[in-house]
Structure 1
Amino acid sequence: MEMKKRISLELRNRSPAEVVELVVDNCQSSDGEVEGLTEEYTALQVLSMVNVGISSLAKLPPLPPPLEVSDNTISGGLDSLAVKCPNLSYLNLSGNKIKELSSIETLQSLKALRSLDLYSCELSTLEDYRENVFQLLPQVVYLDGYDQEDNEVPDSEADNDEDEAGPPGDDDDDEDEDDEDAESSEGDEDEVGLSYLMKDGLQDEEDDGDYVEEDEEDEDEEEDGDVDGAQGEKRKREPDDEGDDDDDE
C-alpha cells in the first residue's frame, strides 16, 4: 500500500489534529520521500514509519513526537531535523544506510536529543563507535539503548505499570488473603450448618420429650380424674346409704 493512502486510512474519520498516534509501518513511499504527512498533525505523540522505503526526511513536516524511522534507506540529509524538529528527544535510525560520523554531525543542533539508535547501521561497526558518537553528540545519554556506563535505558512505561500495580508480592498476598477469607467463610458456613442441624436435633429431642411428658401428664390427669370421680360418687352415695339405714330403723 502506498504511504499516502495508508496515512489517509489511519485517520479513521478523524481530523489530522485529533490523531495522537500514527503508525504506518511497512507501507511504501512512491518516491523515497515522506508522503501524506502534513503540519496539521499537531497532536501527535507517536510517529512510526518503519520500513516504508524513505531515503530522505527532507519533506518531513514540523512535528513534536519522537521519531521512529528504522529499516529505511536514509544515508544522510538529517539537516532538516534541526529546523523541523528542534525539540526532538528520541530518534531511531537503526537499520539505515548511515556509514560515517559526518552523516550524524548535524544532530549536534538537536539539544534535546537524549536517545539515539544507530544499531545495524554500517556506522555501528566502526572501531570505537560508541565513544566517538558520545563525544560527537554530548547531549545524547543513551546510544542503542545503553548509556556510556552500559546501563540500559529505563523503561518508563514498565515503571509506571509497576507503580500502578503496587510493590511486588502485593498481588500474591491479596490472593492468599482472598483464599484464606474464602476458606474461613466456608468453614463458618459449615459450622453454622452443623450448629443448625445439631440445634434442630436437640429441638426435636426436646419436642419429643415434651410430647412424652405431656402424654404422661395427660395419663396422670386421667387417672386422677378417675379416682376423683370414683371418690365423688362414693361421697354422693354415702348420704343416701345413711338415709336408707335411718329409714330401716
Structure 2
Amino acid sequence: MEARYKVELRERDPAKIDQLYLDNCKTDKIEGLADNLASLDTLSMVNCGLKSLEGLPTLPELVIFDISQNELSSGLDILAAKCPKLEKLVLSDNKFATLEQLEPLKAIESLSVLDTFQNDVEDVDDYRTKIFEMFPNLKDLNGHDINGEVTEELEEDETGVEDGEDSDGSIDSDDEDGPGLSYLQNSNIMEDEDETEDYDAVEGDEVEEGGGEGTSTRRGVKRRHEGGDDEESNQ
C-alpha cells in the first residue's frame, strides 16, 4: 500500500490532496499514509484484504470512506477518533456480524450514509429499524431511507446521465444533425433510395468495371443485376 500511495501522490503535497484511491492494494492493515492529509475528503480502499484499520492517519476533513470488499469485523472506533467529519461510510462485503461491532460509529454525529450490504449483521432481526434507532442522524442505509424509500443519492447514481448522452458519455445519435442510427438501419429505406439514385445516374448507359465513371454509377448497375433485371440492363 505504501508503494501505491507514493505512485498516487505523484510528488504532490499531501496536505493539498482531496481524493485518494488505493483500491486492490493487498495488505492486512493500513500503512505508509502521510500524517498530513489535511484536505483529504474522499478515500477509497476497496478490495485490499484489510483485517484492521490500524495505521489510519488522522483525516480531519474526510467525508467519504469506501472500505468495501475487505475482511473487517471490528476497529470502527478508529474511525470515530480519526475521521470526525465522516458523512458516508461504505462497509459492504466485510465481516461485520453484530450490532455491537457497528456501535462505535455512534460517536460520528455527521454520519448520514451507511452501506452494510453483504455483511452478516443484516441477518439480525429487525435490522433496519435497529440501525436507524442506533444512529438517529442516519438518512441512508443501503440506498434506502428510514421508510424504505429509495434515497435521492441512489436515484442520482442510477439516472445521472444527461439528456442527449449515452451512459458512456457519448452523444446520442438521434440528437445529431442528419439521419440517426435507426434510419440507417432501415434496409427498406436504404434500398429504395440507393436504387432510385443509382438508376438515375446510369440512365440508359452500361458501365464496365474499371471504367472512368464514379463509384455510385458502378454500384447502381450492380444493384440492378442483384435485383434480377439482368436482361433489361443488357438490352
Distance 2:41 2:161 in 1: 19
Q: 1:34 aligns with which of 30, 36, 39?
A: 30
Q: 2:147 aligns with which of 149, 174, 177?
A: 149
Task: Tell me which residue corresponds to 1:75.
Answer: 73
Q: 1:50 aligns with which of 40, 46, 64?
A: 46
Q: Deviations over 1:34-71 (max 9, x none)?
A: 11212222222321000111111232112123110011
Alignment of 1:159-170 (within 5 A): none
- Following TM superposition, the consecutive aligned residue runs of length 4 or more in structure 1 with deviations greater than 2 angstroms are 17-20, 155-163
Alignment of 1:85-234 (within 5 A): 85-155=83-153
Residue 13 of structure 1: how far off its partner (Å):
2.6
Change beyond 3 A, Cα 1:44–1:158: farther
Distance 1:153 1:141 in 2: 8
Distance 1:98 1:151 in 2: 24
Query: What TM-score, normalized to structure 1?
Result: 0.60
Higher helix share: 1
Moved more, 36-45 or 115-124: 36-45
Amino acid at match of 1:135: E
Distance 1:6 1:151 in 2: 39
Distance 2:31 2:149 in 1: 37
Distance 2:157 2:18 in 1: 17
Amino acid at match of 2:146: Q
Aligned alpha-carbon RMSD (Å): 2.6
Task: Tell me which residue corresponds to 1:14.
Answer: 12
Task: Tell me which residue corresponds to 1:61.
Answer: 57
SS in structure 1 at match of 2:137: coil
Can you give the 5+ residue segments of structure 2 that lack an aligned partner in the other structure?
166-170, 179-235
Can you give the 5+ residue segments of structure 1 that lack an aligned partner in the other structure?
166-170, 180-249
- What is the aligned length? 169
Amino acid at match of 1:101: L
Distance 2:160 2:14 in 1: 29
Residue 79 of structure 1: how far off its partner (Å):
1.0
Query: What TM-score, normalized to structure 2?
Result: 0.64
- Percent identical among aligned pairs is 37
Moved more, 98-107 or 144-153: 144-153
SS in structure 1 at match of 2:89: strand
Distance 2:20 2:80 in 1: 22
Task: Tell me which residue corresponds to 2:185.
Answer: none
Change beyond 3 A, Cα 1:157–1:127: closer
Residue 158 of structure 1: how far off its partner (Å):
7.8
